[in-house]
Amino acid sequence: MSKIIRAELGHTKELARLFNLYRIFYEQTSDEELAFNFVKNRLVNNESTVFIAEEESGNFSGFVQLYASFCSVSAMPILILYDLYVEQDYRSKGTGRQLMNAAREYAKSNDYDRLELSTAKDNYIGQALYESLGYQRDDEFFHYSLDT
């Protein structure tokens, strides 16, 4: 079982390594400097909350990154679970579930009314995990994006 900890600035280097692997998983070019700067800026500016899975060896095996937002229609604060990544060697060992549960507990204890996430249509393993944790698939709305 991994130990789940909240990321602090001192974790930036190792978290950036995982974040770079996450980006590669989503078919982005490896860029360790970009990953380091992105993670560091989120932590320094208190723009995200990140939980890390730490193994007995002290190595980090995964992370989940959360962004605070609001639902205007319901007039309530929500958290966007934007990133979840577990290194290949640690998959199917419950690490992703632990990270997801840490996100949920954080949301509850900080008075967020809902956690939201999006995932790739072909991410069947992720979908199975989310649904096993009680997440409901939204078939009512389309997701749109615009590069600026």
pTM score of the predicted model? 0.93
Helices (H) and strands (E) in the chain, counts: 4, 5
Q: Do you know the residue count of the chain?
A: 148
Residue 36 has a pLDDT of: 98
Phi and psi torsions of 65, nearest 5°: -120, 135
In a domain, 41, yes or no: yes
In a domain, 140, yes or no: no
Q: Which amino acid is at 72?
A: S
CATH number at residue 21: 3.40.630.30
Tally the domains of the chain. 1
Residue 41 has a pLDDT of: 97
Residue 146 has a pLDDT of: 82
Q: How far apart are CA 106 and CA 132, in angstroms?
A: 19
In a domain, 27, yes or no: yes
In a domain, 103, yes or no: yes
Residue 134 has a pLDDT of: 92
In a domain, 94, yes or no: yes
Query: Which residues form the domain of 34?
Result: 3-132
In a domain, 72, yes or no: yes
What tokens appear for 141 in the block? Answer: 């709305």
Does the pLDDT of residue 72 top 90, yes or no? yes
Q: Which amino acid is at 5?
A: I
pLDDT tens figures, 7-51: 999 999 999 999 999 999 999 999 999 999 999 999 999 999 999
In a domain, 138, yes or no: no
Which residues does 115 contact at the CB level (< 8 Å), separation at least 6?
Answer: 66, 78, 79, 80, 81, 103, 104, 107, 135
Please identify which residue in the block is written with the tokens 């970009």. 34
In a domain, 77, yes or no: yes
